């Protein structure tokens, strides 16, 4: 075997090994429309905002595509006297040693005004939907929290009492 053949063989072998090791990162670097990125955050980022409010996860779905795209939808609102122009809702996944957040898109939910009339709901922008890939998460069991920002004085961080398990390429809800 010639020296150039050996070098070529090793370059190809190393390339395949690197491709295998970094496959998830390569796949996750592909930009997708209507999909949010899961970001790791500090373990104490939302602790000062602990507060209960009205929230519900209505749907949870995992597509069997290359990204294992996960979708959550529901609603969240903090009763207030004013409509918030810059509302933010985030889903926070917390395990013993990791914490991840994912942004959501705010959607109009006309039906909530009538449903929660007695709770002082104002406005219609209380629904949310998000799609993300859980491939970046470490394996483990995660408790789901919701962060809701209505305005500077109306911020909440609430436990949903729902748990999700990430195991390699699967992401599913589990009972506590």
Residue 19 — pLDDT band, cuts 50, 70, 90?
A: low
Model pLDDT for residues 52-67, shown as the tens digit of each residue: 888 999 999 998 887 7
Q: For position 30, what pLDDT does the model report?
A: 58
∠ Cα 62 64 68 (to 5°): 60
Phi, psi angles (nearest 5°) of residue 89: -130, 130
Q: Which residue has the tokens 């670097």?
A: 29
DSSP state, residue 173: E
Q: How far is CA 166 from CA 12, 13, 56, 59, 98, in A?
A: 32, 31, 21, 18, 12
Q: Which residue has the tokens 């436990």?
A: 159
| E strand residue ranges, the chain | 39-40, 54-62, 70-77, 88-94, 99-103, 105-107, 127-132, 140-151, 154-167, 170-174
pTM, entire model: 0.78
Assigned token pair, 58: 């209505």
């Amino acid at each position: 075997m010639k020296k150039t053949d050996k070098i070529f063989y090793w370059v190809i072998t190393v390339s395949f090994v690197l491709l295998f090791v970094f496959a998830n990162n390569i796949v996750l670097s592909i930009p997708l429309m209507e999909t949010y990125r899961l970001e790791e955050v500090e373990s104490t980022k939302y602790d000062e905002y602990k507060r209960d409010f009205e929230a519900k996860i209505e749907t949870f779905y995992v597509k069997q595509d290359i990204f294992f795209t996960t979708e959550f939808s529901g609603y969240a609102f903090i009763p207030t006297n004013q409509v918030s122009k810059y509302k933010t809702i985030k889903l926070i996944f917390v395990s013993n040693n990791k914490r991840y957040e994912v942004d959501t898109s705010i959607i109009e939910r006309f039906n909530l005004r009538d449903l929660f009339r007695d709770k002082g709901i104002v406005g219609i922008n209380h629904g949310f939907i998000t799609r993300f890939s859980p491939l970046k998460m470490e394996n483990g069991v995660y408790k789901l929290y919701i962060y809701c920002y209505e305005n500077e004085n109306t911020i909440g961080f609430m436990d949903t009492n729902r748990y999700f398990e990430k195991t390699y390429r699967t992401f599913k809800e589990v009972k506590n």
